[in-house]
Amino acid sequence: MYAVIKTGGKQYKVAAGEKIKIEQIAADVGQEITIDQILAVGNGADLKVGTPLVAGASVVATVVAHGRHDKVRIFKMRRRKHYQKRQGHRQNFTEIQIGAVNA
């Protein structure tokens, strides 16, 4: 059984036992969280799509770790204008382990 969840402005297809990295959430390591914004729930060929959310569906997950992604390097340049700008960014993330998908 799998589900399409919405968290941090993004959508993820998840199944029980998977580990995914999502946008950082305020939860301690080891804490169990419940995600209730479920856009679709599927089991094989059977798919239930919400309008916009599936009523009564939830995903239970455990917070594994917090961290930061690799650096994204930003380089801006205007040719012949003697303008160069270098910048970097590291986005925070929360890694979660999907426990159960409840339809």
Please, what sign has the CA dihedral across residues 55, 57, 62, 65? Answer: negative
Q: Decide the pairing of beta strands 83-89 and 72-78.
A: antiparallel
Predicted pLDDT at 44: 86
Is residue 92 over pLDDT 90?
yes
Domain boundaries, the chain: 2-102
Give 65's contacts (C-beta < 8 A, 6+ positions apart): 29, 94, 95
Distance between CA atoms of 1 and 99, rounded to whole angstroms?
Answer: 12
pLDDT band at 102 (very low <50, low <70, confident <90, very high): very high
pLDDT digits (tens, 9 = 90+) for 59-85: 999 999 999 999 999 999 999 999 999
Q: Decide the pairing of beta strands 72-78 and 58-68.
A: unpaired
